[in-house]
């Protein structure tokens, strides 16, 4: 499964591990994703989302209906 947040669009990025001797090796920085379900009262159903913790905070701030409207505007099927 792709490790992409459905709300924020965060995805893994490439970085480097740097040792004490400054030997650099590649690494992946992966977002903190959680599978979570939210109750949508206007649709009278649960919605399952794969969101980062930052995405959860956005949902808490704006509300699930506003976030779903934005996601559907971007073309995501929810």
Domains of the chain, residue spans: 13-73
- pLDDT above 90 covers a percentage of the chain that reads 95
Q: How far apart are CA 41 and CA 48, in angstroms?
A: 14
Strand ranges in 1-78 using DSSP code E only, listed in sequence order: 13-18, 24-29, 33-40, 45-52
Task: Identify whether the C-beta of residue 37 lies closer than 8 Å to the C-beta of residue 56.
Answer: no
pTM: 0.86
Quote the tokens at residue 4.
């992409």
pLDDT at 1: 65
Q: What is the CATH number of domain 13-73?
A: 2.30.170.40
The residue-averaged pLDDT of 27-34 equals 96
């Amino acid at each position: 499964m792709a490790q992409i947040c459905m709300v924020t669009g965060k995805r893994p990025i490439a970085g480097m591990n740097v040792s004490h001797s400054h030997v650099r090796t590649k690494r992946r920085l992966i977002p903190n994703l959680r599978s979570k379900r939210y109750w949508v009262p206007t649709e009278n159903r649960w919605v399952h989302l794969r969101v980062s913790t930052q995405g959860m905070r956005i949902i808490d701030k704006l509300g699930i209906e506003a976030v779903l409207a934005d996601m559907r505007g971007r073309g995501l099927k929810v």
